[in-house]
């Protein structure tokens, strides 16, 4: 079975039919809020087109994803020019998905990284009593001040901290490296108690081992974990279709290993994939395919639970 034959659009179900699912996904096609030129809004469509290239069977883990029920809720509607309205729509959609699919894992396909703060806020509104932790794969802190450019792809973690939705001490960022973060952002991270590991530190311990340790620490203090995968965590050689691509990043194998480990953990109940621009990709669409591979690898971990 191919992925496009397996994932079912919610629109295909008759009114009143049961919509129980292991996983529900939604496209979030917003990139106007990116501080760098980005066509990440095109990724949800390219993501779905790529499904024909993937089977549901993962040979490496000997796991068939066809045993999971996955529903596609379509795309969150976006306003043509009003970014604040787009963010409102994302928060409302996340709230609705977490309310209607309370037992499902919610996956958002971005879109730039500003969507993460909105997805988490919607999740928090649906279950305000639950303490949320963040596992972040990223080259950047994403702790820029919102006074500069408003809620952008450089601000989601600061947005969550300053809005009181997630504590800095409940954020774990893996993959920081090189010359792509300013010193003041590191100082803010330290002030807020953000937990971060540079890529050099991650490699010394091992990606899977580091993710395991972070999840163990999170599980001891939060009720639910949200994983966000910024595709710019990958080295530019592996992800040419990323607006803020950099040298010295993760390999594809390292990212997939980390995502698989996170997928296995029962407290990871939501995730997103962001900052992937199909228009920057080469003709063979290696970055788009990698993004889809990340999603399916996460689901492999979910299946292995």
Known binding residue 140? Answer is: yes
Known binding residue 142? Answer is: yes
Known binding residue 138? Answer is: yes
| Residue 156 near residue 138 (C-beta atoms within 8 A) | no
Closest CA to 228 of 122, 131, 110, 125: 110
Known binding residue 4? Answer is: no
Known binding residue 113? Answer is: yes
Known binding residue 82? Answer is: no
Binding residues for Mn(2+): 113, 138, 140, 142, 230, 232
Binding-site residues from annotation: 113, 138, 140, 142, 230, 232
């Amino acid at each position: 079975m191919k992925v496009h034959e397996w994932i079912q659009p919610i629109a295909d179900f008759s009114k009143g039919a049961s919509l129980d699912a292991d996983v529900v996904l939604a496209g979030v096609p917003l990139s106007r809020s990116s501080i760098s030129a980005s066509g990440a809004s095109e990724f949800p469509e390219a993501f779905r087109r790529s499904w024909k290239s993937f089977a549901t069977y993962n040979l490496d883990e000997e796991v068939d994803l066809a045993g999971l029920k996955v529903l596609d809720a379509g795309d969150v509607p976006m306003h043509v020019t009003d970014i604040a309205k787009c963010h409102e729509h994302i928060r409302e959609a996340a709230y609705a998905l977490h309310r209607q699919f309370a037992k499902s894992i919610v996956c958002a396909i971005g879109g730039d990284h500003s969507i993460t703060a909105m997805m988490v806020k919607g999740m928090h509104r649906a279950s305000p009593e639950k303490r949320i932790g963040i596992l972040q794969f990223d080259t950047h802190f994403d702790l820029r001040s919102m006074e500069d450019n408003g809620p952008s792809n450089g601000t989601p973690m600061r947005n969550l901290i300053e809005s009181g939705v997630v504590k800095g001490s409940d954020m774990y960022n893996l993959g920081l490296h090189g010359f792509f973060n300013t010193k003041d952002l590191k100082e803010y991270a330290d002030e807020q108690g953000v937990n971060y590991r540079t890529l050099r530190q991650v490699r010394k311990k091992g990606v899977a081992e580091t993710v395991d340790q972070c999840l163990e620490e999170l599980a001891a203090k939060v009720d639910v974990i949200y994983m966000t995968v910024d595709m710019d965590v990958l080295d530019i050689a592996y992800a040419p279709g990323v607006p803020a691509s950099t040298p010295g990043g993760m390999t594809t194998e390292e990212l997939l290993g980390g995502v698989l480990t996170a997928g296995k953990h029962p407290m990871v109940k939501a995730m997103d994939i962001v900052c992937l621009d199909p228009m920057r990709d080469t003709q063979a669409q290696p970055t788009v395919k990698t993004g889809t591979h990340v999603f399916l690898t996460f689901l492999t971990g979910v299946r292995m639970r």
